[in-house]
Amino acid sequence: MDQKVQGNFQPNIQKPSDEQYFKYKLLVENELGLDWSKEKKYLLHGRLNARLFELGINYDQYYDLLINDQETKEKELFYNFVTTNKTEFFREPSIFLWIRDNILPPLREQIVSGKKKKIRFWSAGCSSGEEAYSLSFETHAMAGMLSHEKEPYRILATDINTQAIVSAYKGIYSHELVKNLPQSVLNKFFVPVPSNDGRSKLFVIKDFIKNLIQFRVLNFLDEHYPIATQFDIILCRNVLYYFKEEVRKVVFEKMLGYLNPGGYLILSGTETGYRTRTAEKIRPNIFRKTN
């Protein structure tokens, strides 16, 4: 990035007009499903200001660049700018406790008895990976008892944001991001390394955990998802929340289609009000696939 837009420097690009904002609103709705019906002009400006300054262009010119130029990676960058990637390890701990108590023991039983060969999870909208890794830490305690050589579970973790996916794949977290994890979890799943400037520590996910997770870029708005697996748990938390009402329903149903019979789709505790005929509502935000 240009030296001038780093640090505390505030680039001063003129805010988008209503007309300009409307073009971007349609773009994020049509291509990402995001609901920008409530005024999000401040968000658009906050996220694009520095990039426009860097390129030396205005909102109309940037829009034309996005629409016309298929050669550059600008569309990918734009998606990265406008998506919201807030996440944390064991976000909403009660959900992970619920999984530990209610889902993992029966899955373990099925593996032990030979009824099931493999367990598959999907962290859908995984951001920088904390959700997928948290699920894997939780499962490891259970699955690790089964075999010393091979874990029977694998996790698919997807997101539209390429920057988030790269971070997730690298699995390197600052002290700030891991400081609330129990020491036992840190010892077992992370390697501490000095940061580049040597002033702090970074925490790198160990390979035996990383190797169980496949990180991929996927847009929920794509008609076809290139996924051949059926899952036992799909975590799709704090993702549908950002979508337009009609997109939420379509993506929600599509996810249910990727569950094994008896598998669970788990939303965040605040994402309630969904209905379906193909799954039983176990809790306001948890669905179990019937048949």
Ligand X SMILES: C[S@@+](CC[C@H](N)C(=O)[O-])C[C@H]1O[C@@H](n2cnc3c(N)ncnc32)[C@H](O)[C@@H]1O
Q: Which residues bind ligand X (CB under 6 A)?
A: 32-33, 83-87, 91, 125, 127, 131, 159-161, 164, 218-221, 237-239, 242, 268
Q: Would you say 41 or 91 has its CB closer to ligand X?
A: 91
Farthest CA pair distance, the chain: 65
Q: How far is the CB of 197 from ligand X (least distance, A)?
A: 28
181 token code pair: 């994890």
Q: Would you say 29 or 54 has its CB closer to ligand X?
A: 29
Is residue 217 a contact partner of residue 103, using CB atoms and an 8 Å limit? Answer: no
Residues 6 or more apart whose Cβ sits within 8 Å of residue 176:
none
Is residue 75 a contact partner of residue 64, using CB atoms and an 8 Å limit? Answer: no
Q: Which of 13, 103, 72 is nearest to 283 (CA)?
A: 103
Q: How far is the CB of 88 from ligand X (least distance, A)?
A: 6
Q: Would you say 136 or 238 has its CB closer to ligand X?
A: 238
Q: Would you say 163 or 260 has its CB closer to ligand X?
A: 163
The 3-state DSSP class for residue 205 equals strand
Q: Would you say 111 or 209 has its CB closer to ligand X?
A: 209
Q: How far is the CB of 166 from ligand X (least distance, A)?
A: 12
Q: How far is the CB of 261 from ligand X (least distance, A)?
A: 24
Residues 195 and 192: their CA atoms lie apart, in Å, by 9
Q: How many alpha carbons fall within 13 Å on the CB side of residue 194?
A: 4
Q: How far is the CB of 110 from ligand X (least distance, A)?
A: 26
Is residue 192 a contact partner of residue 203, using CB atoms and an 8 Å limit? Answer: yes
